[in-house]
Amino acid sequence: MYFPSQQYVTEDPERAMRLLAHEAVHLLDSRRWTIPLFALSYLFPQVLVLGVLGVPWLGTWAWAFLGFALPWPAPGRFYWEARAYALSMWLRYEAFQTQPYQTYFCSWAYYRMFPFPKKIDRALARWANKIQTAKDPVLHQVWTHYQAAVHTNNL
């Protein structure tokens, strides 16, 4: 995990804790699903661009794999990020405000990861509901630890 500077943490420690909570969701998900499965689903379909390395065996057909470098929708990455960003949204606003995240998921910041705004809203709403009702063990675990840390440190 990377923080740009010590100042990033000291200026807004709650923001830094939200970032840690977001990344904790990814770490727990990768442990639950295993790192190889998590990584492949997160990087699919762009990871298929590595097929171009098969030129010696596949000949010129291997160059077709370069098409996977295009910004195709990435449903696996969207699934994992929607979970983590729903938690970030809830920690920040304690309410359902999808617009900033919807814009982010559809932008080049995430390589146009999932350019379907209505589906983004529905997914974030579903994960936010699971946070509220404690129906997802990973999200609930991170939420609980975050709340304890915030109250302990009087943030």
Q: Which residue from 90, 122, 85, 118 is spatially nearest to 104, judged by alpha carbons?
A: 85
**DSSP code string of 112-150:** S----HHHHHHHHHHHHHHHHTT--HHHHHHHHHHHHHH
Given a cut of 90, is residue 132 above it in pLDDT? no
Q: Which pLDDT score, from 0 to 100, does residue 95 have?
A: 61
Residue with tokens 């920690």: 91
| Rounded to 5°, angle at Cα 104 from 103 and 105 | 95
Q: Which pLDDT score, from 0 to 100, does residue 70 have?
A: 93
Q: Which residue from 80, 93, 109 is spatially nearest to 22, judged by alpha carbons?
A: 80
Q: Which domain holds residue 23?
A: 6-152
Is 119 a domain residue?
Answer: yes
pLDDT digit string (tens) for 7-56?
A: 988 998 888 999 999 999 999 999 999 999 999 999 999 999 999 998 88
Q: Are 65 and 52 in contact (CB under 8 A)?
A: yes
Is 47 a domain residue?
Answer: yes
Is 11 a domain residue?
Answer: yes
Question: What is the overall mean pLDDT for the chain?
Answer: 90
Tell me the mean pLDDT in the region 54-63. Answer: 86
Is 40 a domain residue?
Answer: yes
Is 1 a domain residue?
Answer: no
Q: What is the enclosing helix (H) or strand (E) of 70? A: none
Is 123 a domain residue?
Answer: yes
Q: Is the four-CA dihedral 149, 153, 154, 155 of positive or negative sign?
A: negative
- Split into its structural domains, the chain has a count of 1
Q: Which residue from 134, 119, 143 is spatially nearest to 22, judged by alpha carbons?
A: 143
Is 33 a domain residue?
Answer: yes
Residue 73 in tokens:
């929708």
pLDDT digit string (tens) for 64-112?
A: 999 999 999 999 999 999 999 999 988 887 666 777 888 889 999 888 8
pTM attached to this predicted model: 0.87
